[in-house]
């Protein structure tokens, strides 16, 4: 396009600042390009109008046909300057069509299969369709099918299909929160846990990924009252290592639910510490920085309770594994690893433990933390642990002389 051509400002999307190809009006009355506003609302998880800052109360996007025709006419008039005509966008799926599809599915099992097949086809077409399905109540419909898994044997395969579809629908936080709060379609968390417990390989992975998304929008009271079965099955997913994505999602769940004291006890009882240490010893898990980071965050939280520290020390490789992660993964992992070492060093110190820490190079690693470019809080914790056991470690023949000379006092 020739740079000298002046584009009418109302042809430009307020978000992308480019000519709108499919202008739509939101509930605040402002027009945006469909692709840009959908990314803003659903991928960016925002619910306010970028221009007015007001809440967008209705997720429906109304096509601005008048403006689209004006833009197309302008493009045609300026074709000689290299301006390409914008094609008429394909109409998104109609909400009433989806609602009829759901209603008709209630008549028979065959219609339910047909409905899910059609919904999958619609979901695969574009993001606009996903939002339309959301508004039409498809997430609640799918949740109902998922919750019937195990109640009716004929529903098991349907449940697996609904679960996969639910995940690929990429529901907004608002919908997930409504499902969690209003119990539409049954208790969604309970249903997912049941699938994680005895579902097929692929469904267990999808259930774990969905559980992560749902618990991210849960309020503290909902998280604090989670049943022990949640912790048992999440830890089992970690132990089974059914897929890299499922393992990371399960670890993310523990990061989300373990800040609360009673949840830490439940996680420890479920065997989380031993499983996490074994994971950290797995090179495939440690190849991705985010995995070990989350693992160290969880270990840090669990070692803040006495039962957690006891379980940690029951694993023969625990000290060595955590020590190895210091200055090897990231600043976050290093900080959490030092916090774990400080927790066991402060509350569980025995001559045997202190000797083990010395033998495994913990003291040398703590000195290294003090010397390199590292977070100030991490340095403070390393210094605190060194000073705490100075009498034992400073006088040890195992400690190199150069470290004895600079030992913090």
Q: For the segment 142-176, what is each residue's pLDDT rounded down to a tens digit?
A: 999 998 865 455 556 899 999 999 999 999 888 89
To the nearest whole number, what is the mean pLDDT of the chain? 90
- Give phi and psi for 193, each to the nearest 5: -65, -40
Residue 282: DSSP 8-state: -
Helix (H, G, I), strand (E, B) or coil at 55: strand
Segments in 170-200 forming alpha helices (H): 173-182, 188-198
Average pLDDT of span 185-198: 86
Residues of the chain with pLDDT > 70, as a percent, come to: 94
Cα(194)–Cα(205) distance, integer angstroms: 12
Q: What local confidence, expressed as pLDDT, does residue 401 receive?
A: 74
Give every CB contact of residue 156 below 8 A, 6+ residues apart in sequence: 149, 150
Lowest-pLDDT choice from 5-14, 301-310, 338-347: 5-14
Confidence of residue 225 (pLDDT cuts 50, 70, 90): very high
| Res. 186: pLDDT tops 70 | no
Closest of 300, 387, 399 to residue 344, by C-alpha: 300
User: For the residues 287-298, what does the mean pLDDT come to?
Assistant: 94
Q: How far is CA 278 from CA 235, 241, 283, in A?
A: 12, 11, 10
DSSP notation for 77-130: HTGGGTPPPPPPPPPPPPHHHHHHHHHHHTT-HHHHHHHHHHHHHHHHH-HHHH
Q: What is the pLDDT of residues 52-80, one digit of tens each?
A: 999 887 767 889 999 999 999 999 999 88
CB 270 within 8 A of CB 231: yes
Contacts with 284 (C-beta within 8 Å, 6 or more apart), sequence order: 244
What is the crossing angle of helices 201-216 and 228-240, to 10°?
130
How sure is the predictor about 255, in pLDDT bands with cuts at 50, 70 and 90? very high
Q: What is the mean pLDDT of residues 242-261?
A: 96
**Given a cut of 50, is residue 2 above it in pLDDT?**
no
Residue 152 has φ and ψ, to the nearest 5°, of -130, 120
């Amino acid at each position: 396009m020739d740079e000298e051509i002046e584009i009418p400002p109302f042809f430009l999307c307020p978000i992308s600042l480019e000519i709108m190809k499919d202008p739509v009006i939101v509930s605040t009355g402002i027009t945006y390009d469909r692709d840009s506003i959908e990314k803003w609302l659903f991928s960016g998880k925002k619910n306010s109008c970028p221009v007015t800052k007001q809440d967008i109360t209705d997720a429906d996007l109304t096509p601005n046909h008048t403006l689209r025709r004006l833009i197309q006419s302008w493009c045609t008039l300026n074709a000689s300057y290299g301006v390409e005509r914008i094609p008429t966008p394909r109409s998104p799926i109609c909400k009433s069509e989806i609602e009829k599809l759901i209603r008709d599915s209630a008549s028979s099992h065959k219609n339910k299969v047909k409905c899910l097949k059609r919904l999958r086809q619609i979901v695969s077409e574009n993001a606009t369709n996903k939002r339309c399905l959301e508004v039409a109540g498809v997430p609640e419909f799918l949740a109902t099918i998922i919750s019937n898994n195990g109640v009716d044997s004929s529903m098991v395969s349907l449940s697996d299909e609904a679960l996969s579809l639910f995940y690929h629908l990429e529901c907004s936080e608002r919908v997930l929160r409504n499902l969690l709060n209003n119990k539409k379609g049954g208790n969604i968390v309970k249903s997912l846990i049941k699938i994680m417990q005895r579902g097929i390989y692929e469904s267990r992975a999808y259930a774990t990924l969905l559980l992560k998304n749902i618990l991210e929008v849960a309020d503290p009271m909902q998280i604090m009252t989670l049943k022990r079965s949640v912790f048992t099955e999440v830890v089992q997913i970690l132990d089974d290592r059914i897929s890299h994505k499922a393992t990371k999602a399960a670890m993310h769940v523990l990061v989300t639910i373990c800040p609360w004291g009673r949840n830490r006890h439940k996680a420890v009882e479920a065997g989380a510490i031993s499983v996490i240490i074994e994971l950290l010893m797995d090179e495939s898990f440690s190849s991705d920085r985010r995995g070990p980071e989350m693992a160290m965050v969880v270990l840090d939280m669990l070692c803040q309770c006495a039962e957690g520290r006891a379980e940690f020390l029951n694993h023969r490789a625990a000290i060595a594994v955590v020590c190895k992660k210091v200055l090897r993964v990231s600043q976050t992992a290093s900080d959490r690893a030092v916090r774990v070492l400080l927790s066991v060093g402060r509350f569980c110190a025995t001559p045997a433990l202190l000797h083990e820490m010395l033998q495994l190079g913990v003291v040398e690693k703590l000195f290294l933390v003090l010397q390199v470019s590292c977070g100030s809080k991490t340095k403070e914790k390393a210094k605190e642990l060194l000073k705490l056991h100075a009498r034992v470690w400073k006088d040890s023949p195992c400690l190199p002389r150069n470290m004895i000379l600079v030992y913090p006092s």
